[in-house]
Amino acid sequence: MAKLNIVKEGDPILRKKSRPVEVIDDRIKTLAADMVETMRAANGCGLAAVQVGKLRRMVVVEVEEDKPYIMINPEIIKREGKQNEAEGCLSLPDQWGITDRPMTVTVRYTKLDGKQYTVTGSGLAARAFCHEIDHLDGILFKDNAVRMLDPDEVEH
């Protein structure tokens, strides 16, 4: 496994639409492992492949310790409720904003075993799923922010 470089705001790749993963081969499996390692090293709870310079529809999300979701070609198929919370991004260091997200989402995705699954997440999980899947379409959290926060408003 290797820690990858996280692309920062201003790099045009972050605004591009990612391509579907057609074949789950050793390169995709290695990328998945490297993305999990990179996300953890950066103290994040999610990372999209585009954030490490790969225009592939793949994200990793980990809101419970040692339980990462590796999602290939993820798609939100159900949204319920509403939450209005602070959000940040590894590609936008030191920027935080209040976003409106669904309270609960159901995501259909493919795992590394090539099979399709669904997962339903609420609260932070729903926010992270939405945030990372947005990245796959070139959308950054601040595009949807109701309000960006001043640094003195952010709890660390």
DSSP 8-state code for residue 43: T
Contacts of 67 (CB under 8 A, 6+ apart): none
- Do the beta carbons of residue 129 and residue 76 sit within 8 Å? yes
pLDDT single digits (tens) 72-128: 999 999 999 999 999 999 999 999 999 999 999 999 999 999 999 999 999 999 999
Mean pLDDT over 3-32 rounds to 98
CATH superfamily label, 12-153 = Peptide deformylase (3.90.45.10)
For residue 140, CA distances in Å to 30, 98, 101, 118 come to 25, 13, 13, 24
Contacts of 99 (CB under 8 A, 6+ apart): 84, 85, 86, 87, 127, 141, 144, 145, 146
In the chain, % of residues over pLDDT 70: 99
Mean pLDDT over 35-54 rounds to 98
Cite the active site residues. Answer: 132
For the chain, give every domain's residue range. Answer: 12-153
